[in-house]
């Protein structure tokens, strides 16, 4: 039985490693290969951004493509920074993300990942959305993976840890990325 190759469009090795671990593709029905494409920075709602990034990537590589777009949304700010979190983090740092909420009692937020998948150029694009609620807190734990250290997710076991404090295996079983990838995995296995 041959396996299906899916090109994950990203330049972030951390995301590729996390994706591989979460998908836990024991049966080797599909192979995920990282593929870097410089896509334009788009503006709009997260679903639009993910869909358009996938469409643009398919114009360059006419193969099965998976792209990811992740948002960190502060409820007090009407969903901002949202899909622009990378730029907010670059400009303000982790401490600055907290300072954005200084004037608000509401520190609640949600993390959302959208995976967009297409079989190739001019083919339908499917979206897989994962979301987890949480709170913005002062940085704790590993500071090396984006904004993980300032996001404390609401967990069923009432664990009060940021993603940056969690064991990698724990984070990979509850995160927004995990939730979206479970939907994608079910979909892709249905195609094989």
Rg (CA), the chain: 17
Please provide the DSSP assignment of 132-154 as one string: EEEEE-S--S--SSTTGGGEEE-
Nearest to 128 by CA among 168, 85, 169, 176: 176
Span 49-78, pLDDT tens digits: 999 999 999 999 999 999 999 999 999 999
pTM of the model: 0.91
- Number of structural domains found in the chain: 1
What is the structure's pLDDT at 19? 79
The pLDDT, as a whole number, for residue 120 is 94
CA atoms of 19 and 128, how far apart (whole Å)? 14
Per the structure, the complete domain to which residue 42 belongs is given by: 4-191
Report pLDDT digits (tens) over 22-45.
776 666 677 888 899 888 888 999
In angstroms, rounded to a whole number, what is the distance separating the alpha carbons of residues 66 and 126? 10
pLDDT reported for residue 88 = 95
What does pLDDT average to in each consecutive run of 10 residues of the chain (192 residues)? 81 77 70 86 92 95 94 97 94 95 97 96 97 96 89 87 92 91 89 74
How many other CB atoms are found less than 10 A from the CB of residue 35? 19
User: Residues with Cβ < 8 Å from 28, sequence gap 6 or more?
Assistant: 3
Helix (H/G/I), strand (E/B), else coil: 129? strand
CB 114 within 8 A of CB 180: yes
> In terms of Cα–Cα distance, which of 35, 54, 190 is closest to 119?
54
Q: Which residues are CB-neighbours of 125 under 8 A, at least 6 positions away?
A: 51, 54, 55, 116, 117, 118
CATH number for the domain harbouring residue 59: 3.90.950.10
Helices 176-191 and 13-23, axial angle in degrees (round to 10): 60
What per-residue confidence (pLDDT) applies to 173?
87
């Amino acid at each position: 039985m041959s396996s299906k190759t899916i090109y994950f469009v990203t330049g972030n090795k951390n995301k590729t490693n996390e994706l591989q671990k979460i998908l836990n593709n024991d049966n080797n029905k599909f192979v995920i290969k990282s593929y870097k494409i410089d896509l334009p920075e788009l503006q709009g709602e997260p679903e639009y951004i993910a869909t358009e990034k996938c469409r643009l990537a398919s114009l360059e590589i006419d193969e099965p493509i998976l792209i990811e777009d992740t948002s960190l949304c502060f409820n007090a700010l009407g969903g901002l920074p949202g899909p622009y979190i990378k730029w907010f983090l670059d400009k303000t740092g982790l401490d600055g993300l907290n300072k954005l909420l200084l004037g608000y009692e509401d520190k609640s937020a949600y993390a959302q990942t959208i995976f967009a998948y297409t079989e190739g150029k001019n083919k339908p694009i499917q979206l897989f959305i994962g979301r987890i609620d949480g709170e913005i807190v002062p940085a704790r734990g590993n500071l090396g993976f984006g904004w993980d250290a300032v996001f404390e997710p609401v967990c069923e076991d009432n664990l009060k840890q940021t993603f940056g404090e969690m064991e990698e295996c724990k984070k990979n079983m509850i995160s927004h990325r995990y939730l979206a990838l479970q939907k994608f995995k079910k979909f892709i296995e249905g195609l094989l």
